[in-house]
Amino acid sequence: MYQHHKLKVERTAQYSTIGNANKNTTRLVIACHGQGQLAKHFVRRFDVLDDGKTLVIAPEALSKFYIKNMQGEVGACWMTREDRLDEISDYTNYLQQLYDHYVPMLSEEVEIILFGFSQGGATIFRWAMEKFPKVDAFILFGSMLPEDLDYSPHLDYFNSKKLIWIYGTEDQFLTPPRLEFGRNVIAKSQLNFEELTFEGKHVVPREVVKTLFEK
């Protein structure tokens, strides 16, 4: 008789950093990449923040795949619709473990910012809704707020932070209908987002990162 089973296992996660972890570090940015990216490439978008006081951590999603063919470029993915709840549980535990490892090394006054690009935007909010880490700001970059979560019991948590939704005016994935849908999700959530735009496509330009973190 056919049976399907699940087994929790320990595995190795990859992540990349820019900056140092010490008591002089006053800003921590945890930046989650988009679908099909790798942390070692994505983290380079944040080298403009390498000021001696900022630590950028780019976690890499736990699932990898060949983007085009079996010999081609490899990318990583945070979740798919297959066993999605298990994948969410796995990556939220992973992100919280990474957070818990680094935060005690930093200044007691450290500012903590969660940054999510594309699929990584939903990732940071699903993590927050599972673990409620102590952070100061959320940045949805070229992304959408997950519409299947109930934010209403946690408005005090989210609206005590800086919430930014930013996207390129030529983003090929955030079409006008998608943007309207995204605005409706945010309105329904009652979260106080600031909506910002920049001239560009579905990418994370260094100059936009620099300007954004100077705000």
Q: What percent of the chain has pLDDT over 70?
A: 99
The pLDDT tens digits of the residues spanning 84-103 come to: 888 999 999 999 999 999 99
pLDDT of residue 10: 87
Q: Which residues pair with 54 in a beta bridge?
A: 27
Residue 206 CA to residue 82 CA, distance in Å, equals: 34
Q: Does the pLDDT value for residue 69 go beyond 80?
A: no
Q: Does the pLDDT value for residue 40 go beyond 80?
A: yes
Residue 189 CA to residue 175 CA, distance in Å, equals: 21
Residue 108 CA to residue 164 CA, distance in Å, equals: 24
Q: Does the pLDDT value for residue 215 go beyond 80?
A: no
Q: What angle do CA 72, 78, 81 make, to 5 degrees?
A: 100
SS (H, E, C) 14-53: CEEEECCCCCCCCEEEEEECCCCECHHHHHHHHHHHCCCC
The pLDDT tens digits of the residues spanning 134-189 come to: 999 999 999 999 999 999 999 999 999 999 999 999 999 999 999 999 999 999 99
The pLDDT tens digits of the residues spanning 102-139 come to: 999 999 999 999 999 999 999 999 999 999 999 999 99
pLDDT of residue 72: 80
Question: Mind listing the domains of the chain with CATH numbers?
Answer: 15-214 (3.40.50.1820)
Q: Does the pLDDT value for residue 193 go beyond 90?
A: yes
Residue 126 CA to residue 120 CA, distance in Å, equals: 10
pLDDT of residue 159: 95
Query: Among the ranges 4-13, 60-69, 142-151, 206-215, which has the highest mean pLDDT value?
Result: 142-151
pLDDT of residue 168: 98
pLDDT of residue 208: 97
Mean pLDDT of the chain: 95
